[in-house]
Amino acid sequence: MKLTILGCYAATPRTLTNPTSQVLEIKNRLFLIDCGEGTQVQLRKNKIKFSKINHIFISHLHGDHLYGLIGTISTFSLLGRTTDLHIYGPKGIKELILLQLKLTESWTTYNLFFHELESKESEVIFEDNRVIVKTIPLKHRVYTNGYLFQEKPGERKLNVEAAQHYNIHTAYYQKIKNGGNVKLDDGTVIENEKLSFDPIPAMSYAFCSDTVYNEDVIPIIENADILYHESTFLESEAPLAQKTLHSTAKEAARIALKANVKHLVLGHYSTRYDGIERFKEEAEEIFPNVILGDDGLSFEF
Ligand SMILES: [Zn+2]
Ligand SMILES: [Zn+2]
């Protein structure tokens, strides 16, 4: 799993910082998460192939998470895209995009599928043989969802030496990888644990975009490997966070701690501060494994 942060600052794009957008590479699928202004440029700067993005997840209809979407959709067409594109986001996103296409007399060279969300409960919105994506209902000024991306557990790893030791025919190897036992010609059953190793652990990534401190998310994101949680403000602006339905770095850390995640990535910093180091310091007073998100930062986990 690889996460690339294209932008992680609040509100307005600036010379050196960008509003929210991320790319998650998970089991060979490339998911774009939020699409603030400048996302296309950031994709190019980070050498991410446009053609590999087939799914876009939008958390909510605020400009700093959305205003890059129509441009991105349009560019995909100019590049001659023919592959289907799926967009997941709050109800209204379809109307918003189609109106812009209509008034600009534009169209797409590919099929555009909208998956509009309105549930207040967590729901599965994408699933294939390797990945599952669920919504994380958040509390913000407009209807907002975070997204939980989970890998499905892979096959068990064949213990070739053990299989050869028992003279097991290769025709049984897939059965072993699937977790099955093997019966030898003399009737002896060899338990799967003797013939295989545990699969690589399935990883999960929870993205919580804009939200006030909300413990309701904890059961959904519990034990996630990585949690990105917005931390718009420092503790000195805690009342403002409450008022504008955003979080402080400490609140993000409290959620990380209570949900028992392995790492916390901070972002969505208000541009009122001179630097972002202080966000990490404040969060670390509560939770130890804090990563200071920043534009262009990419890491594998
Ligand atoms: Zn925002
Ligand atoms: Zn917002």
Residues near ion ligand 1 (Cβ under 5 Å): 64, 210
Binding-site positions for Zn(2+) read 60, 62, 64-65, 140, 210, 268
pLDDT averaged over every residue in the chain: 96
Question: Is residue 23 pLDDT above 90, yes or no?
Answer: yes
Measure CA of the first residue to CA of the last residue in the chain; give whole Å. 6
Report in angstroms the alpha-carbon separations of 223 from 219, 263, 285, 292: 9, 10, 20, 20
Q: Report whether CATH 3.30.70.1400 matches the domain 2-154+200-300.
A: no
Q: Find the 269 Cα to ligand 2 centroid distance in Å.
A: 12
Cα-to-centroid distance, 9 and ligand 1 (Å): 8
Residues 248-297: tens digit of each pLDDT: 999 999 999 999 999 999 999 999 999 999 999 999 999 999 999 999 99
pLDDT at 200: 87
Is 274 a catalytic site residue?
no
Residue 154 has pLDDT above 90, yes or no: no
pLDDT at 239 over 90: yes
* Per-residue confidence band for 48, with pLDDT thresholds at 50, 70 and 90: very high
CA distance 241 to 243: 5
pLDDT of residue 212: 98
Which ligand gives the minimal distance to the CA of 90? 2
Q: With cut-offs at 50, 70 and 90, classify the pLDDT of residue 201.
A: confident
Q: Which has the closest alpha carbon to 248: 273, 222, 286, 279?
A: 279
State which amino acid sits at residue 115.
Answer: H
The domain locations on the chain are 2-154+200-300, 157-197
Ligand nearest to the CA of 271: 1
Tokens representing residue 286 in the block: 């509560």
Quick one: pLDDT at residue 83? Answer: 98
Say if strands 226-230 and 189-190 run parallel, antiparallel, or are unpaired: unpaired
Catalytic residue (one of 64, 185, 186, 294): 64
